[in-house]
Amino acid sequence: MIEEFFSGFALLIAYFVVFALCALLLRKLVKVPSELFRKTLHLIALGSLLVWVYAFRTWWVSALAALVFIVLVFPALALAERIKGYSKLLTERKQGEIKSSLVIVFGMFGLMIALCWGWLGDKGLVLACVFAWGFGDGAAALVGKRFGRHVLEGRMIEGRKSVEGSLAMLAVSFVSVITVLLLRGGLQWYGYVPIAAIAAVVCTVVELYTLKGFDTITCPFAAAAVIIPLVQVWGTSAR
């Protein structure tokens, strides 16, 4: 167990060091729009889920690694906040945003690992539920910023969101889920499209009406509430 933890954790650290340095170097050398750089960091965090799932053999060791990662990195970020230009470099919208995102994202990873891998014994569902939110949310932000022309407004909608951004999330969420499910296998042939479509619609609607940026939590668990029962109905467990 100890060997598994340290070998997997070393891969995690290596992953973040390499990709974070590449992102920062790119920002230093090329004029990258702030929103694009934010979503680059978002994708780096999202991509690390592959390491959490496949660098560990045991679900609870992986979930424990997520907790340890938060405990170690949180104080490091707190110290880094004292460095002049830190907030601008990482394109924080408000002070402490990166720290709070760290806790929320990797805490969500740990919970999803415990639910899908620990309880159901299915690594693929971890990826499907999280990617349903992650890639779609990134697409919504980039497309909405660049091409958003038709504004969605309402009492329960926070800020300015666009039809174009929501459609981008719908499409990318669908592609993300169906790709994971196809690679996972274990479903009846007619189950892939409806599961991906329903999950994409649910994630898009939940993201639209989630306040204060908590879609990081609400969307993956909303996806899980759809994907898990439908996978149980239309397929068999795939590990």
Per-residue pLDDT tens over the stretch 31-47: 878 888 888 999 999 99
Query: 114 and 3, same structural domain?
Result: yes
Residue 195 neighbours by CB under 8 Å, 6+ apart: 177, 178, 181, 187, 226, 227, 230, 231, 234
CA 72 to each of CA 51, 59, 67, 68, 103: distance values in angstroms, whole numbers, following the listed order: 18, 20, 9, 6, 11
DSSP state of 151: E
Q: Render pLDDT for 4-34 as a digit per residue (tens, 0 to 9).
A: 999 999 999 999 999 999 988 888 788 878 8
Tokens in use for 12? 């995690």
Q: Render pLDDT for 90-128 as a digit per residue (tens, 0 to 9).
A: 777 778 788 889 999 999 999 999 999 999 999 999 999
pTM of the entire structure?
A: 0.92
Task: Choose the final residue of a domain: 119, 136, 163.
Answer: 119
The structural domain count of the chain equals: 2
Query: 176 and 145, same structural domain?
Result: yes
Over residues 219-236, the mean pLDDT reads 92
Domain containing residue 4: 1-119
pLDDT value of residue 118: 96
